[in-house]
Chains A and B, each alone.
Chain A
Amino acid sequence: MAHRVLVVDDEPSIVLSLQYLLQREGFEVDTAADGEAALEVVARRPPALVVLDIMLPTMSGFEVCRRLRADPAAAGIKVLMLTARGRDTEAQKGLRLGADLYLTKPFSTHELLEHVRRLLGQTP
């Protein structure tokens, strides 16, 4: 049963890699390049998991996360945050806002996949 994952990042190369990675694992992947687009997609085709970059144009990843969590319809959606900044405070902030997990860039693809599987309850 194919889960759907939404990848939100404004860097095309990162989106490319995440998309390929997840598709190879058998997920259906949607993408969005900024916060507005992301929320739109969530509304239209709700994913099981959102991989969310923090540094986005206009609306920040934190804002997106907060809005997601504020929406009851999106309660079951897992959020995995990606951040390139090295500060703990970022991570704390993300977790406080309701993210399920945060990873720093550059991430290990193996680790990412492991976390994704775990979050979606697919580990053996």
Chain B
Amino acid sequence: MKRSGMTGERLVATFLLGCVLLNYPVLFLFARRVTVAGIPLVYVYLFGVWTLLIAILALVVERKRS
């Protein structure tokens, strides 16, 4: 695939980032009884991180060859 040569490595980095953010202990930090506009923090956090990861994946993969 004609993408930037670093694509594979950037994707692995994203993977690792995801693993860290979406698991204990980072997840635990957000598992508090706080609400954001009525929505529990953990819910917002999870979906927020998820969206962020997807955005990063899209960015990394769709970047054309420099």
Whether A and B touch (Cβ < 8 Å) is answered with no
A: which residues have CB within 8 A of B?
none
